[in-house]
Chains A and B, each alone.
Chain A
């Protein structure tokens, strides 16, 4: 978009004169001063406890000076960039050719991503690391799509989504280890149980909104985790459940030996087969989630969810039962979380409460918000960015979280409503027009 021509909005025909060099220097000086005050103790002086407990400190004024200089220079650059970009509120006219190219790219991105995902095990067959990372990303894509039903469509802020992930995982783990049920029997059971707990959460929070809803769902997530930790006789407590059966190819195990799938197909056994199978399994589950969500959006229930996000009072006036609408949203989202949980348990072979902390809920919610609430493609891209980015920055070691946090902040400044902020209508007469994010409500909670 850099080569786009900028023009001022009609209301701003008189373009304000760009601030002069004095203004820029003044601003940079203030920034540098703030940095000096902030960093003088954080960087300028380093303290440590000596061997006998006494205080040892030494100064690092060189580092401090470098930091302040960096802030000073950075501030000048940012201000110059801002002037080059033009005043806020200018309308950027993108040349029609570029615009149509962008539109094609936008439409093409989803199929290209899908085909690429299907080919990942073929391309990276020998790279176990990439395959494992792919499985991880797809798990989060699925969780994101599941939570998107609750947060993105129905506008109900759920901070305890990991609870349903845990319910699904423990359902499969316990049913499989105690009763010897197979993965394919347990998968729907895990989904149903998670949906049931979704409804259980739904009932007490029906009347809550916004911050209050967020707090209660957060507490619910913690309750499930604490119950799992403390109900030792059933769940094994902090020791978790181990020896969870691996998934079978519809009854045929993926093991070496005469009973295994490899022997039956007459090919040589390789441990990679199982990884590839797991990859396509989670891909299938994620695509099922996506397909169901897209279908639901075009059904009355999906429209009611979105209407609920837009205006709850108007929904009541139109005869929509708010209670069942909210509960179905919670249950549907929870069901997909349960599926993902069952998959997680069979992939790991071992689960413990440590895998289901609040951090997981926060991560999935961040994926949904970053992706653009309600957008399926946005959530997939966000999961790829977040989980992939996490791995990408692994080389930076202790600065990983810092870099990652800065990247997130910048992304949210650039795209406050997520990567894909606009909403696609569910039905149209002549042509489907994307609806600008300014009009779409975020929901009351």
Chain B
């Protein structure tokens, strides 16, 4: 593990009654890199995400996030919305959670809530229409427009999010997370349900986010083509524990991964892994 980790997860455990979903898991996500968290269904990947983003309170363990300016946050001590607001961790959901009755543009405006709330003088300046508020609102719309352009949805800015095709909704959710200007972006299966062309566009978008915004990305993904193409580092989980970690190449060749990850006989596993390369 390199010294410049943005997120360090240390001996994280999460129990639900008698079930141990995550057991003594430690890993790091490097700054300005893409880290993938993979593993078979039920391995505890989403539980790890929910701990990092504050939806679950971990049973034990520490999660430390260090910003570029050196400020450190203990994520297990912050609760729900503060992780996004203060520690700047944004996330998307496995089953898309947009605001379906609001337009694409409005979705991106809601994402800038905290910045806009300050700019509107906690609503009072905004209510009287102060010029500073108008300027801030204009900037927020510009930022939203920029992201709509990057995900290719500028033409559909005024359409209800619930009316967009599935692939567009996935990308809009990522854009919405990016509008919170996060330090760490957590994506829960962003390629799920996408076709080959859409997956390729997604990979491109994620690479450009890493290059242009310098955002560190942590993603859970089943689509091996995406994982192998864009990840800098891969962590493999099974039954709540880490079974391997390393570069995509290392992981792909690791016999433990091949055996445990797919839970199938080795030849079949290799075939699947090869197809993703």
Contact = CB atoms under 8 A, between A and B. Distances in A.
Contact of A317 (B84, B102, B114, B141): B84
A303 B109 contact: yes
Contact of A318 (B84, B103, B120, B154): B84
A430 B157 contact: yes
B113 A429 contact: no
Interface of B: 53-55, 80-85, 90-91, 93, 97-103, 105-106, 109-114, 116-117, 120, 123, 126-127, 141, 145, 154, 157-160, 162-163, 176-177, 180
Interface stretch (A188-196, A271-279, A292-300, A390-398): A292-300
Interface string A305-321: 01100110111111111
B164 to A, nearest CB: 11
Contacts of A439: 100-101, 160, 162-163
A400 interface: no
Nearest to B111: A318
Interface of A: 292, 295-296, 299-301, 303-304, 306-307, 310-311, 313-322, 328, 423, 425-433, 435-436, 439-441
B214 to A, nearest CB: 20
Contacts of B114: 319-320
A314 B85 CA distance: 13
Contacts of A423: 101
Contact of A433 (B55, B84, B159): B159
Given A296-B123, A314-B93, A303 B180 contact: no
A322 B158 CA distance: 26
A317 B79 CA distance: 11
B127 A296 contact: yes
Contacts of A425: 102-103, 105-106, 158
B100 A310 contact: yes
14 contacts: A292-B127, A300-B112, A300-B126, A310-B100, A310-B101, A313-B97, A316-B81, A318-B81, A428-B157, A429-B141, A429-B157, A432-B158, A439-B160, A440-B100
A320 B113 contact: yes
Given A300-B109, A425-B102, A431-B158, 9 more contacts: A296-B123, A303-B113, A307-B113, A313-B97, A318-B180, A319-B180, A320-B81, A425-B158, A435-B160
A321 B114 CA distance: 9
Contacts of B160: 433, 435-436, 439
A314 B126 contact: no
B81 A319 contact: yes
Nearest to B107: A307
Contacts of A292: 127
Contacts of A431: 158
Given A300-B120, A429-B105, A311 B98 contact: yes
Contacts of A303: 102, 106, 109-110, 113
B113 A427 contact: no
Contacts of B112: 300
Contacts of A310: 99-102
Nearest to A303: B110
A264 B123 CA distance: 41
A425 B144 CA distance: 15
B113 A304 contact: yes
B233 to A, nearest CB: 24
B106 A318 contact: no
A441 B120 contact: no
A295 B104 CA distance: 20
A320 B162 CA distance: 21
Nearest to B148: A429
Contact of A428 (B82, B93, B158, B177): B158
A433 B158 contact: yes
A175 B154 CA distance: 56
A295 B158 contact: no
A301 B54 CA distance: 23
A307 B93 contact: no
Best-surrounded residue of A301, A313, A436 (most CB of chain B within 10 A)? A301
B220 to A, nearest CB: 15
Given A318-B180, A427-B106, A441 B159 contact: no
Contacts of A315: 81, 110
B185 to A, nearest CB: 12
Nearest to B87: A319
Nearest to B104: A429
Contacts of A321: 81, 85
B124 to A, nearest CB: 10
Given A300-B113, A306-B102, A423-B101, A429 B145 contact: yes
Given A306-B99, A310-B100, A429-B158, A318 B176 contact: yes
B103 A428 contact: yes
A307 B102 contact: yes
Nearest to A429: B157
A26 to B, nearest CB: 41
Contacts of A320: 81, 110, 113-114
Given A303-B106, A429-B105, A319 B113 contact: yes
Nearest to A425: B103
B106 to A, nearest CB: 6
A430 B99 contact: no
B99 A307 contact: yes
Given A316-B84, A425-B158, A311 B99 contact: yes
A290 to B, nearest CB: 14
Nearest to B91: A317
B109 A427 contact: yes
B127 A440 contact: no
B116 A300 contact: yes
Contacts of A436: 160
Contacts of A306: 99, 101-102, 106
A439 B98 CA distance: 11
A135 B142 CA distance: 45
A440 B101 CA distance: 4
Contacts of A304: 110, 113
Contacts of A295: 126-127
A307 B81 CA distance: 14
B126 A299 contact: yes
B120 to A, nearest CB: 5
Best-surrounded residue of B55, B102, B109, B114 (most CB of chain A within 10 A)? B102
